[in-house]
Amino acid sequence: MLKHILLLTVAGAAVACSAPKEEPVSTGLSTPPKITRVALLTDEAGQPGTEVTAFDYHQKTLHFLVALDHPVPKTKARWVFTAKSTSAGDNRPMNSVEGSVEGQAIKGQISLDTPWPVGTYHVDVWLGESSVGNFDYEVVGKQTPIVFGHQTLSVEDGKGGPARAVDHFSVKDHTIHIEVSTRGVDNTGPTVVWRLLRVTGEKEVEIGNVQQPQMKLQDSFLRAQFTSPGDWTAGTYHAVIEINGNKAHTIGFLIR
């Protein structure tokens, strides 16, 4: 029986920055303040701008302001970010950043060199070693058509992953890897299915398929892995990608 595995990853997954840090025990300020209001702000030439309800994924620097229920002495503020449910993955820790304290307000910002993965993020705010609260915010992107780009065929590296790229496979390459890049945004979490077909004359015979669990697409790489228990049959093959049941892209290749 043909074995098949599919992996879906997102280009530039910079949100998975560092290993999660241990959160300090909530001690420090004698009477830790609490967050009473959160403001998300646009970026205006590196400075906080207009308040918005969600960030556009093209905005590379995100600005925040939280109001506190009472003033605090000058101390270090820390914002701990987590990618909660995004097109780059779920519950991925990010680097924490320092913020400035001004009376009853804490200002902070975080930047990414590439567009932000669409989805929901979580923030824990600390003053010294005292937690003052947390909140979620959303990065949104207008849905655009998924366009397919560069594709790569790779042989097995002996460890379950792709090794060198090839222009065709050998019948002895029992595990084959196929990758294609995409551009565009679909944050609905579409269902992606790969179907492996062998071309026989004018017909296509399906010999394997795999369904990817729902997840968001955004400038992604789609990757599939297929394994044959014996030698492949030499000939022409098609790897067909379906999105929500609709044929979206075909990758043709030879095994010989």
User: Residue 188: its pLDDT value, please?
Assistant: 84
Dihedral sign for Cα 144, 145, 151, 153, please: positive
Facing residues of 41 across strands? 51, 63
* pLDDT score for 5: 42
What pLDDT does 197 receive? 98
Residue 246: half-sphere exposure toward Cβ, Cα within 13 Å: 5
**pLDDT for 100:** 83
* 57 CB burial (10 A radius; 0-12, 13-18, 19+): buried
Q: Are the beta carbons of 112 and 87 closer than 8 angstroms?
A: no
The pLDDT, as a whole number, for residue 121 is 96
Q: Does 35-140 match 143-255 in CATH topology?
A: yes
Q: How far apart are CA 119 and CA 43, in angstroms?
A: 19
Structural fold of domain 35-140: Immunoglobulin-like (2.60.40)
Q: By three-state DSSP, how is residue 194 classified? A: strand
Spatial distance between the Cα atoms of 70 and 168, rounded to a whole number of angstroms: 67
Pairing type for strands 246-255 and 47-52 reads unpaired
Mean pLDDT by 10 residues, the chain (256 residues): 41 38 44 92 95 95 95 86 90 90 91 92 92 95 92 94 95 96 89 96 94 82 93 98 97 98
Domain ranges of the chain: 35-140, 143-255
Q: Which has the closest alpha carbon to 236: 209, 255, 212, 216?
A: 255
CB contact at 8 A, 14 and 115 = no
Position 2 scores a pLDDT of 53
Strand arrangement, sheet containing 162-166: 3-10, 220-227, 175-183, 147-156, 162-166
Does pTM surpass 0.75? no
CATH number of 143-255: 2.60.40.2550
